[in-house]
């Protein structure tokens, strides 16, 4: 994790396909405090999980 002077930061790493669901839930827990820019597969997984939650209600 790299921290910036303004208190924000970013995480840059490789994520295996097997870990997509774990990291999707991990970042979803941060709500609007986290912004995932890539990989597209992770973003799609997050959208799927969030849509499942919305369909519940």
Which token pair is 38?
């890539």
Phi then psi dihedrals of residue 36, to 5 deg: -95, 125
pLDDT of 6 reads 92
Q: Could you tell me the pTM of the whole model?
A: 0.85
* pLDDT tens digit at each of 57 positions of the chain: 888 899 888 888 899 999 999 999 999 999 999 999 999 999 999 999 999 999 999
CB within 8 Å of 27: residues ≥ 6 apart: 34, 36, 42, 46
pLDDT of 11 reads 87
pLDDT of 29 reads 97
Domain-wise residue ranges, the chain:
15-56
In the numeric block, the tokens 């799927």 are attached to 48
pLDDT of 40 reads 96
Phi-psi map region of 56: left, alpha, beta (phi>0 left; psi -120 to 50 alpha) = alpha
């Amino acid at each position: 994790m790299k921290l910036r002077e303004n208190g924000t930061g970013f995480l840059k790493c490789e994520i295996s396909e097997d870990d997509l669901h774990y990291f999707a839930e991990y970042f979803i827990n941060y709500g609007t405090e986290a912004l995932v820019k890539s990989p597209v597969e992770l973003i799609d997984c997050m959208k799927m999980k969030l849509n499942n939650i919305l369909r519940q209600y």
